[in-house]
Structure 1
Amino acid sequence: MTPSLPTMTTTVRTFAARPDGAEGVVHDPLTGLTHRTSRALGSGRVRLSATDLASWPEVHPAAVQTDVPISVCWSPVVRCNLACSYCLDDKSVSELARPERHRIANLIAETAVLGVDISGGEPLLLRDLPDLIDVLVAGGCAVSVTTNGTHLARRAEALAGRVDAVRVSLDGPDAERHDRWRGAGSFDHAVTGIRAAIAQDIPTQIQAVLLRSTAQASMRAMVDLAATVGASGVTFLQMLPIGEGAALAGTEQLTDDEALGLLAELKTTAAVPVRLRTRQAAGGFTVIRSDGQIWRNQPGAHAISALRPLHTASDLALTAWDGSA
């Protein structure tokens, strides 16, 4: 008897799509990337294989003809149990009460926004987080949650079957390097959370902000950690000189060219997929902060500007000066 060949498994995940002329665009909630498809897929949430996705080129959202952002970052909470020195959030911003959070979720769900990344602060501190996700999913959005991971183990079961992806922020590939930035015990809690999310079949990736003092020594180890715990990949983020991170920009900020150089050394031998979000790519990105105000990163993401309160779905409309994502 001829032995059978091993069967390759293909990962199928949830994305959000919309037509773009004769083609289409797809937002990936795991990576935050937008891909141009070879065929129109309709509008709303779709199930696609990783093989399909890999065959479609990445495209900057600003290159897509659209009246609203392809994706937004929604930070409905300011509170956080950790204190990252490069945090983008403005701690002076007020936090809307639960009914207002649900109003914002419903407004986003009414638009043609494809992806919503719920961030903070620490979003897992919100008891109503699963309900907010349900509202967005019902509107056709692909939803991710960006978290420090310390509460992920206890929340993973409630998120399973709801959220489309989880992104866990780490500052180092081990407790010694991570806890130096985020506090004793935070690394172990985060890794336990990553394992719990993966056990619940939630697509999970690691995110790490690149700092000049740590990047070169820790990038490969971070990728190795992702492979060890079973994460779907690693996204390295360029530090943005916004919020508390502005004070570190002079000493810790890498140029996009420097960051791309570090990634090039790593990408060809990485055990899991790796990518870089440059500052240039972060320019024009739309943020909804916890007070219900819409903000957008300026070109090059060297600063962020307040636009308007989110009162109606039309308030999310892009304007000519944005070059927005």
Structure 2
Amino acid sequence: MIRAFAAATFGGTTVVHDPAVGTNHLPPQPLPAGCVALDDQQVAAWPEADPAGLAPEYPLSMCWSPIVRCNLACPQCLDDKSVRESTTTERRILAGHIATSGVLGVDISGGEPLLLRDLPDLALAIRDQGTSVVSCTTNGWHLARRAGELAGTVDAIRVSLDGATEATHDTWRGQDSYRRAIAGIRAAVGEGLFVQLQMVLMQANKHEAQDLLERAAQLGAGGATFLQMLPIGDGAALASEQMLTDEQAQEIVGSLAVPDGVRVRLRTRTSAGGFTVLRADGYAWRNTRGAAGIAAAVPVVGPADLRLPASGSTS
């Protein structure tokens, strides 16, 4: 499939960011800076870049959570629900700061971002400079009705599934959440959006990892990302019971049989260390090393405020 990626060159080394999978790759030849259309299977074959070795002055990718509200109440949620939400005007200003910061990839998350009426406008504002690609992470509940307006405004959709079956997923996210998410995935694929499934890997659902890959292939999703549980927010209370070590997670994902055309990624806690997050109140912070906590928050009043001091990975 030909889809949008973002490219930039640092000290003579060109890097390509994948908005669906969240990975960074080293192409065999230089590419023009900005958004580029590439074959995703070709990009997948390129070696992954180590952002720390590139020493960019800004993070290659980041997460923006412009909303705290969510229609679900997942017990493993890592969001800080105590912060205020920015106003519509403040969100538009923050989107402008992101667009001119030099960040290659921005994942709009939450809370539940599909509760925002201005979500398509925010995505377009970030893409306005032609240098960033945008993904959106959603629980999928409202995706079926909004897939049409997201087509052409975001470059990828990441849908959270905490199980490959309705019974497992709904145990964590509530009744009907699986059915609504599956309907949303089908609608998004039907609109031509590239969809990546995401599972928070835990003791309770690790046995369904293989089935999730098969489900991705059946639904026409491009792949699946397994996220190591982070002991932050509500999820801290479940850490001792549900959290896997990075080594356990790597063993599980490494043993999977991957269907043709499906991209698989494991985001370990080690690789999540140093990742940049812009909160709903306009403060940015980085995950600490090992992603067991967060570093001090900085108010974002201009693009330069997103160029936080390096702390671990900047992917």
- Once the two structures are superposed, residues 238-273 of structure 1 have per-residue CA deviations (whole angstroms, 9 ceiling, x without a partner) of 000111111111111000000000011114567723
**Inter-partner Cα distance in structure 2 for 1:131 and 1:205:** 22
Which of 134, 149, 157 aligns to 2:124? It is 134
Range with bigger deviation, 52-61 or 94-103: 52-61
**Inter-partner Cα distance in structure 2 for 1:171 and 1:259:** 15
1:176 Cα offset (Å): 1.1
**Inter-partner Cα distance in structure 1 for 2:295 and 2:257:** 34
Amino acid of the residue matched to residue 159 of structure 1?
Answer: L
1:320 Cα offset (Å): 4.7
Residues 255 and 188 from structure 1, CA distance in 2 versus in 1: closer, same or farther, beyond 3 angstroms? same
Q: Secondary structure, in 3 states, of the residue corresponding to 1:37?
A: coil
Which of 175, 181, 197 aligns to 2:188? It is 197
**Inter-partner Cα distance in structure 1 for 2:33 and 2:55:** 14
Residue in 1 aligned with 2:161? Answer: 170
Q: Does 1:156 align with 2:147?
A: yes
**Inter-partner Cα distance in structure 2 for 1:75 and 1:194:** 21
Which of 294, 301, 317 aligns to 2:291? It is 301
- For structure 1, the residue ranges without an aligned partner over 5 or more in a row are 1-10
Report % sequence identity. 51
Amino acid of the residue matched to residue 162 of structure 2?
Answer: D
Residues 236 and 322 from structure 1, CA distance in 2 versus in 1: closer, same or farther, beyond 3 angstroms? closer
Q: Secondary structure, in 3 states, of the residue corresponding to 2:35?
A: strand
Q: Does 1:275 align with 2:275?
A: no
Q: How does 1:40-119 map onto structure 2 within 5 Å? A: 40-119=30-109
What do you get for the CA RMSD once the two structures are aligned? 1.4
Q: Does 1:39 align with 2:29?
A: yes
Residues 266 and 219 from structure 1, CA distance in 2 versus in 1: closer, same or farther, beyond 3 angstroms? same
Contact kept, 8 Å, 2:250 with 2:266, in 1: the verdict is: yes
Q: How does 1:248-267 map onto structure 2 within 5 Å? A: 248-267=238-257
Count of aligned positions: 314
Residues 175 and 45 from structure 1, CA distance in 2 versus in 1: closer, same or farther, beyond 3 angstroms? same
Q: Secondary structure, in 3 states, of the residue corresponding to 2:255?
A: helix
1:193 Cα offset (Å): 0.1
- For structure 2, the residue ranges without an aligned partner over 5 or more in a row are none
Residue in 2 aligned with 1:229? Answer: 219
- Once the two structures are superposed, residues 263-287 of structure 1 have per-residue CA deviations (whole angstroms, 9 ceiling, x without a partner) of 1111456772322110000000000
**Inter-partner Cα distance in structure 1 for 2:310 and 2:113:** 32
Q: How does 1:171-190 map onto structure 2 within 5 Å? A: 171-190=162-181
Q: TM-score, normalised by structure 1?
A: 0.93
Q: Secondary structure, in 3 states, of the residue corresponding to 2:20?
A: coil
Residues 270 and 255 from structure 1, CA distance in 2 versus in 1: closer, same or farther, beyond 3 angstroms? farther
Residue in 2 aligned with 1:285? Answer: 275
**Inter-partner Cα distance in structure 1 for 2:183 and 2:140:** 8
**Inter-partner Cα distance in structure 1 for 2:86 and 2:308:** 24
Residue in 1 aligned with 2:114? Answer: 124
- Once the two structures are superposed, residues 8-49 of structure 1 have per-residue CA deviations (whole angstroms, 9 ceiling, x without a partner) of xxx101000001233300110010001112222121111111
Contact kept, 8 Å, 2:134 with 2:156, in 1: the verdict is: yes
- Once the two structures are superposed, residues 35-91 of structure 1 have per-residue CA deviations (whole angstroms, 9 ceiling, x without a partner) of 112222121111111243033101232222310000110000000000111111011
Residue in 2 aligned with 1:7? Answer: none
- Once the two structures are superposed, residues 102-155 of structure 1 have per-residue CA deviations (whole angstroms, 9 ceiling, x without a partner) of 010000111110000000000000000000011011122100000000100010
1:316 Cα offset (Å): 1.2
Q: How does 1:306-321 map onto structure 2 within 5 Å? A: 306-321=296-311
Contact kept, 8 Å, 1:297 with 1:303, in 2: the verdict is: yes
Residues 317 and 181 from structure 1, CA distance in 2 versus in 1: closer, same or farther, beyond 3 angstroms? same
Range with bigger deviation, 269-278 or 102-111: 269-278
Residues 129 and 84 from structure 1, CA distance in 2 versus in 1: closer, same or farther, beyond 3 angstroms? same
Contact kept, 8 Å, 1:76 with 1:290, in 2: the verdict is: yes
Q: TM-score, normalised by structure 2?
A: 0.96
